[in-house]
Structure 1
Amino acid sequence: MQAFVILLSGGIFCMSSWIGINNGLQRLSKMVAGGVSAAVGGITGWPDRIHHNNVINAVGLTTQNFLQMSLFTDPLGDGAFTRNWTVFYWLWWISYTPGVAMFVTRVSAGAKSKEVIWGLLLGSTAGCWFFFGVMESYAMHQFVNGVINVPQVMQTLGGETAVQQVLMSLPAGKLFLAAYLFVMIVFLASHMDAVAYTMAATSTATCAKARIRIAACACSGAW
């Protein structure tokens, strides 16, 4: 299954790169945005208010404790949590910054620097709060009501199985699971397409030709 997803995503983003940024990458990005909005919107419509209350509470906790959480070193413990989560994600985002910055600069021609910066900061933060907040809240709802023991499933079977069981517990769960898989495949393809475009655009003086974009796709897929 994993090989199928990788091959399908690779084929989609190679085709997208061949078509070009306007007809390829732009359409993939719109499909991802629409699919995520529809899926999360469907879960948000659940009648229990735990979604809204939990997301608002999480925003407050993050705002209040962001600095302390970012600098927490676990001085009296073994530091495993800090190494595996805090340090990892800080370094992951730092290493991710150059590629994202180059891509956004390329596709934001005509926009002011402050517009791009605020768009990235506010848009990515709001998107993460919205998506993860809704999914987490629904998982908590199912756990509290005794439907799925999410922590136990994560410890014994892994996060992927936990996500699958949570989505399957929705009304029309198979449809939600299929939509989730489709969105993730297209999301991966659009992400790799953006990486290939950035690699090709920054290594050529003018607009990269199709064969250069495809070569960049092959390098990204192999990596």
Structure 2
Amino acid sequence: MKRNTIDKQILSIALTLVALLTVPILINPAKGTAFLNKVLNSITLNFGPLYLWACLAIFGFLLWLAFSKYGKVKLGNSKPEFSTFSWLALIFTAGIGSGIMYWGIIEWAYYYSSPPYGMEPLSVEAASFAPTYGMFHWGFSAWAIYCVPSIPIAYAVYIKKYPSFRLSTACRGIIGDRADGLLGKIIDVCFMFGLIGGIGTSLALGTPLLAEGIHHTFGVEKTLTLNLGIVVSLMIFFSICLYFGLKKGLKLLSDWNLYLYVAIAVFIFIFGPTAFIIASFTDSVGVLFQNFFRMSLYTDPVGKSGFSEAWTLFYWGWWFSYAPFTGMFAARISKGRTIKGLILGQLIGGTLGCWLAFAIFGNTSMFYEMAGIVPVLDILQNEGAPAAILASLQALPLGGIILILYLLVAAIFLATTVNSAAYTLSDVASKNLQIGEEPARWYRVFWGVLLTSISIVLMYGDGLEALQTLSIITALPLVFIMFLMIASFVKWITKEYESIMVQQENDASGDLPTRETEVVSQKQQKIEAPAILSKTRLEN
């Protein structure tokens, strides 16, 4: 008898929430966006510092965990399923999306023209902080938020042997069997709701950049039809990848995406303003480490510049809305790795991958503005960020070719992110899956089509700004859920650490016999053979 793997209860709740979100915005975009902005203002006013403290606490917890005795625990008794490069590529491309291709090259300009801490716009001091803040927002803090759910989820599946990669499963240490009931459903739906807001933000940023590139390269007029065409094309592309699954589809896509990304960065580093890139990046690292705690907790309660709300809180909300998804995805592909390896791989690998964009793409764009080669700030103010991004790329040697490759990487990043999100959503909205079993092919494709359909509906109703705002709103309950997961994990591992290590040492010695063990075994066989023969003769 064929197993039913579709969790109809979670699916119906999630689809109902999606309908409640999209239909009002589609009917009246202005009122829908205004309502969400009121909710957003209330959250940032009352809970803004919570996001900041939560992020800092999570970062500290991960550092402690990685270098404590618990960091040695291996998540499963098998070898890693993917090579380190493919593993990092999957995590990086799934978690970052085309946002890094968008903000990596232009974010400095916003901080340079509207700096924090009451600094003079366009000043030397503002120029020092401008490339640094992007590295901060996309650095260790961001990847700490991304990383923390992967630990309890992986522990629950590979150590506790629970068959599900859900958030509710990772909370079992605290909520117990209620994970199977209403409370568990609420936790899982909160994750799905948050992910929809995060994906909407990625599409809201990525689609206009691709549209500007097509307009610039081929002269196609920038219209709603062009935006819809881009989203539909991406939907077809990643639906094919979803059909082929994790190893054949997502792995190859992520590998080649990272190859292209690094290749473009290396080309710009060599043929761009190399000396300025190195000097500015070096200065930014110093500024970041000197001001890390101030940047992490900056709220500006007296000046009320709105800088923290517009940037840091927006980013932390975006990361929190994505975090359960990236955690589930990272947990699924991290079997056989240690807790320390999983933490450092994401914190260091993810951070350096993002810093590559800000160090090379961002500083190149900044150099062109300072040297008077490209009026980046003027283009940003008059034509928008996508036009300023393309103008910076066009000024490079072989600018036309680099521009096309850059847009290709941005498109693949965006497709990979939606791809991975659809895969994870189909996993959460499934049941009765065996260990290592993937959701049904049609179900994976269904979620990919659903995510992009939501974006198309909101794009048609001019509601993408509302969905971008929603990423911060939907992140609020996830902050509490993530701390619930941490508490559950700590309760598990502190009780079970000794027995886990004994079991893993036994597994290791059993799986990998030494030469001495083999020799002893052979001698034992030689001794036992005559004894067995003599016993047989006596019995006869």
Q: Which TM-score band (shorter chain)?
A: over 0.9
Q: 2:251 aligns with which of 1, 26, 29?
A: 26
- Asked if structure 2 preserves the Cα contact closer than 8 Å seen for 1:154 and 1:162, the reply is yes
For the residue of structure 1 that corresponds to 2:367, the secondary structure is helix
Q: Give, in angstroms, the shift of residue 192 of structure 1.
A: 0.9
Aligned to 2:136: none
Tell me, in whole angstroms, the C-alpha distance in 1 between the residues paired with 2:409 and 2:447: 23
CA contact (8 A) 1:5 1:185 kept: no
Q: Work out whether 1:179 is the aligned partner of 2:413.
A: no
| Residue 127 (str. 1) matches residue 358 (str. 2) | no
| C-alpha distance in 1 between matches for 2:444 and 2:336 | 24
Asked if 1:215 is matched to 2:441, the reply is no
CA distance, structure 2, for counterparts of residue 36 and residue 130 of structure 1: 10
Matched, 1:106 2:337: no
Query: TM-score, normalised to structure 2's length?
Result: 0.40
Aligned length: 223
Residue number among 290, 293, 297 corresponding to 1:64 in the alignment: 290
Contact (CA 8 Å) 1:73, 1:79: kept in 2 or not?
no
CA contact (8 A) 1:17 1:210 kept: yes
Aligned amino acid, residue 382 of structure 2:
T
Q: How big is the shift at 1:47?
A: 5.4
Does the CA contact (< 8 Å) of 2:243 and 2:441 recur in 1? Answer: yes
Hey, what's the Cα distance between the residues in 1 that align with 2:296 and 2:227?
33
For the structure 1 residues 115 and 48, does the alpha-carbon distance in structure 2 shift closer, same or farther, using more than 3 Å as the test?
A: closer
TM-score by length of 1: 0.95
Question: Which residue does the alignment assign to 1:146?
Answer: 372
Q: Structure 1, residues 166-210: CA drift from partner, whole Å, max 9, x if none? A: 000011111111101111111111111111111112222322110
Alignment partner, residue 14 of structure 1: 239
Counterpart Cα distance in 1 of 2:230 and 2:408:
10
CA apart distance, 1:55: 1.1
Counterpart of 1:156 in structure 2: which amino acid?
N
Equivalent position of 2:148 in the other structure: none
Q: CA RMSD in A?
A: 1.4
Deviates more, 1:195-204 or 1:24-33: 195-204
| 2:57 corresponds to | none
CA distance in 1, matches of 2:402, 2:228: 22
Alignment of 1:40-55 (within 5 A): 40-45=265-270, 46=272, 48-55=274-281
Give the partner amino acid of 1:35: L
Task: Please give the alpha-carbon distance, in whole angstroms, between the structure 1 residues aligned to 2:274 and 2:408.
Answer: 27
Cα displacement string for residues 4-24 of structure 1 (whole angstroms, at most 9, x for unaligned residues): 322221111100001111111
Aligned pair in 2 of structure 1 residues 108, 99: CA closer, same or farther (>3 Å)?
same
Match of 1:4 in 2: 229
Give the drift of 1:101.
Answer: 0.3
Measured in 1, the distance between the counterparts of 2:228 and 2:404 equals 17
Letter in 1 for 2:322: Y
What amino acid maps onto 2:418 in structure 1?
Answer: M
Report if the CA contact (8 A) 2:425-2:447 is conserved.
yes
Which structure has more relative contact order (CA 8 Å, sep 6+)? It is 1
CA contact under 8 A between 1:28 and 1:187: conserved in structure 2? no
Letter in 1 for 2:262: S
Q: Once the two structures are superposed, what CA deviation does each residue of 1:39-93 show, in whole Å capped at 9, x if it has no partner?
A: 1111010354011111121111111112101211112323321111111111211
Which consecutive segments of 4 or more residues in structure 1 shift more than 6 A? none
Q: Percent identity?
A: 30
The answer (yes or no) to whether the contact 1:31–1:186 under 8 Å persists in 2 is no
Rounded Cα–Cα distance in structure 2 between residues aligned with 1:148 and 1:37: 24
Unaligned runs of 5+ in 2: 1-225, 455-540
Deviates more, 1:131-140 or 1:46-55: 46-55
- The 3-state SS of whatever aligns with 1:20 is helix
Range with bigger deviation, 43-52 or 24-33: 43-52
Aligned to 2:186: none
